[in-house]
Amino acid sequence: MPGKGGERGSVYRRKDSPFWWIAYCRGRKQYHESSQTTEWEGANDLLKVKEAEIVHGQTPGALLKKVTFDELAADFLTDYKINGRKSISRANLSVKLLREFFGGFKVHAITTPLIKKYVEGRLGVGAVPASINRELSALKRMFNLGNQCTPPKVPIVPHIPMLKEHNVRTGFFEVDDYKALMAEAAEHIRPIIAFAYVTGWRKSEILSLKWNQVDLKEGTVRLNPGMSKNEEGRVVVINKDLRQVFSDLFTRRVLGCDFVFQNDGKPILNIRGAWDGACARAGLGVRIFHDLRRTAVRNMVRSGVPERVAMQVSGHKTRSVFDRYNIVSEADLRAAATSMNTYYDSITFSPRTERAGNQAKIRVLKAV
């Protein structure tokens, strides 16, 4: 039977199918799709829907079913590159891990239950929740980018449940630890450690510092926009000890090297070996440089620096991250108990109230 339809599309029969088929064009390419009905009217209605979707810039359902995970992943990495995101290595790793499971899948087949199976598999091989969440965030970004396309490649973004992260940070340097580390550290990394201990700047931000970002007269160090993880610039006023550190570094600077922290005129790119060696010699065991960042934030808060100012100095953008670094140590708890004892001792109790107060003090001390 000859096909029926309008100028742009048609409804027709195929010898190998009991259903009516429709043909329509998007751009210069023609598409054919079964209407899954034996009624011409139903097939014609479906054709009108497809043509209306194309007119309004939408992707017809048949085309959406052809979009694959790999296509979304490629768009995701392209977005990272054209926007100059600093975490491109982490993005590549996430795509690699996701592709091992979702590679070749059509996008419409990637549902919440399937995503949960991916999570189960990652947990089964020992991956930690924080790492899995970074991968799920990448997957979510892929779907959102596909949904934002014109026309959309993804009609509906599936629900992607995130894992609860038990990642409260516990590593920080007490004063004695810091002094021991500085005593054992190689000369070229001592200024780096001192700056991180006070400001809480990230290692990459410190190692990339150049002299045009330092004003010794005003005692300021500036991080230009785009050089930090959160893409925002900031300026800190350094204390007298750090001013002396920077003054000594300026005196020892090597002509032709613009970097503040250098070793024999070459920028310091990696301190891992020197750091691990210093920690071992100081008897501190395995420590990470990021512990200095946590320590700086905690020390600023303890010294009375407003949290908003502390976040500006260290470069923390969200308070949820900042909270994880403001660690309460056992010494803090004992100091709190002492303060409470002093308060209770200063109150004049009636006999009955005094007994209750003593019991409360005993409970507090036992808790500590």
Domain count across the chain: 4
Looking at per-residue pLDDT, the higher value among 331 and 137 belongs to 137
How many CB atoms within 10 Å of residue 80? Answer: 19
Is 180 within 8 Å of 284 (Cβ atoms)?
yes
Instruction: Report phi then psi at 331, rounded to 5.
Output: -65, -40
Binned at pLDDT 50, 70 and 90, residue 162 comes out as very high
pLDDT at 187 over 90: yes
pLDDT at 138 over 90: yes
* Rounded (10°) angle between helices 330-345 and 351-367: 170
Q: What average pLDDT does range 167-171 have in this prediction?
A: 60
Binned at pLDDT 50, 70 and 90, residue 327 comes out as low
Structural domain contains residue 264: yes
Q: For the chain, how many residues are written?
A: 368
pLDDT tens-digit readout, 200-259: 999 989 999 999 999 999 999 998 876 655 567 789 999 999 999 999 999 999 989 999
- CA–CA gap between residue 348 and residue 350 (Å, rounded): 7
User: Can you list the positions of beta strands (E) in 110-164?
Assistant: none
Give residue 351's pLDDT.
54
Judgement on whether residues 320 and 355 belong to the same structural domain of the protein: no
Binned at pLDDT 50, 70 and 90, residue 62 comes out as low
Is 191 within 8 Å of 245 (Cβ atoms)?
yes
Structural domain contains residue 1: no
Judgement on whether residues 203 and 311 belong to the same structural domain of the protein: yes
Judgement on whether residues 194 and 316 belong to the same structural domain of the protein: yes
- CA–CA gap between residue 59 and residue 153 (Å, rounded): 7
End-to-end Cα, the chain, rounded Å: 88
Structural domain contains residue 165: no
Looking at per-residue pLDDT, the higher value among 96 and 106 belongs to 96
User: Can you list the positions of beta strands (E) in 162-321?
Assistant: 214-215, 220-223, 234-237, 262-263, 266-267
- CA–CA gap between residue 215 and residue 226 (Å, rounded): 20
Q: What average pLDDT does range 279-298 have in this prediction?
A: 92
Mean pLDDT estimate for the chain: 83
- CA–CA gap between residue 194 and residue 190 (Å, rounded): 6
- Give the CATH number of the domain where residue 230 resides: 1.10.443.10
pTM: 0.55
Judgement on whether residues 128 and 183 belong to the same structural domain of the protein: no
Judgement on whether residues 182 and 311 belong to the same structural domain of the protein: yes
Domain, as residue range, for 25? 10-63
Q: Give percent of the chain with pLDDT exceeding 90.
A: 43
Looking at per-residue pLDDT, the higher value among 38 and 209 belongs to 209
Judgement on whether residues 282 and 186 belong to the same structural domain of the protein: yes
